[in-house]
Structure 1
Amino acid sequence: MNIAIYCGSKFGDKQIYKIKALEVAKTFAKYKFNMVYGGSIAGIMGIVSNEALKLGVEVTGVITYDLEDKEIANKNLKTLYKVETMRERKAMMEKLSDAFIALPGGYGTFEEIFEIMSNTQIGMHKKPCAFYNVNGYYNSLMQFLKNCVEEGFLTKRHYDMIIFSDDIEEIFQRIINYTPPKSKWEDN
């Protein structure tokens, strides 16, 4: 199984984010899953990808030509796709992947995972999406999305499809056992 990870090109201010990124790499190795990610050695992206490579995980990177120099492309990768735009990068990562996990990150991480969740909601694919809630990082997001349901802008089934956990092992198990929801346009 190919799983895309979205994560920060920064390290974050707490050591726990680095520690948990290493744990993610170990879990990929344990399950013998392949990793797809943004192709950089910067921040958490570099930590998780290089640790995964050390553990024998097949890691595929996808990076734009522009970001190749700015983020410093990971030269340790056997497979590194280079594309022109961020839209092409996201589309290729989506195409290459069977599931998606957002680790802590910033705007790019949010934008990437939200596009994937939106595509699930409208039925473009039926792939699982997860948030690795390290140190409660996504607690406020969970509450915000619950509010979206309460206010009638998101169906409960499309909230429930999202895997939120602070346990990477639980995330992998839920990905393996995932049942996709009906799309937004199908009957309730």
Structure 2
Amino acid sequence: MSQKAKGWLLVVAALAGVWLIRNGADTRLTPPGPASAEAFAAGPELLPGSPVAEPLRPSAPVRIRIPGIRVDAPMMRLGLGPDGSLDVPPAGNTDIVGWYKDGTPPGAKGSAIVAGHVDNAQGPSVFYNLGTLKKGSTVEVLRQDGRTAVFALDGIEVYDSKDFPDKRVYGSSEHASLRLITCGGGFSESTGYEGNVVAYAHLTSVR
């Protein structure tokens, strides 16, 4: 991927984060946030002692499973909307997760960007409990090639929208890395959620 293309991906992904921030629904429930112990001490790093698998050839994901929060959901491709921002999963579908189809597929070398809603007007959605995950939690992504990419969580953090660390979240990776993103932080009736929860993971094995 060219440097220009990489830069465009960062912009696109940032726009997706803005959409998620501004479109959470006030359900009078507060999504659980990550504990400080699950954050990185300095910057993103692999979980100590965790195996690191060789990246796979690119193949589109079809389903994601996160046993720790009972997620077992289909995945859809997300492209760009008419305004140039990233499309998002349908707000009315509480059980679907999207990935940026022109970026890195989960399991391939690089940082795969995956996004899911935290809630909608009716209540919690697929990533409502993302903030409860712990370091070492398992994330499984079933792919079109029949393989299942198994990831281990390296850390999970919450960011205010004004301080969202684009390079930290969307930057390149020498490993097969995964970023799971949803809304989080405080909530404003005028603008929606004021931050994002981001879970970082790396590929540990393949089935």
What's the TM-score once normalised by structure 2's chain length? 0.28
Bigger strand fraction: 2
Higher RCO structure, 1 or 2 (CA under 8 Å, sep 6+): 2
More helix by share: 1
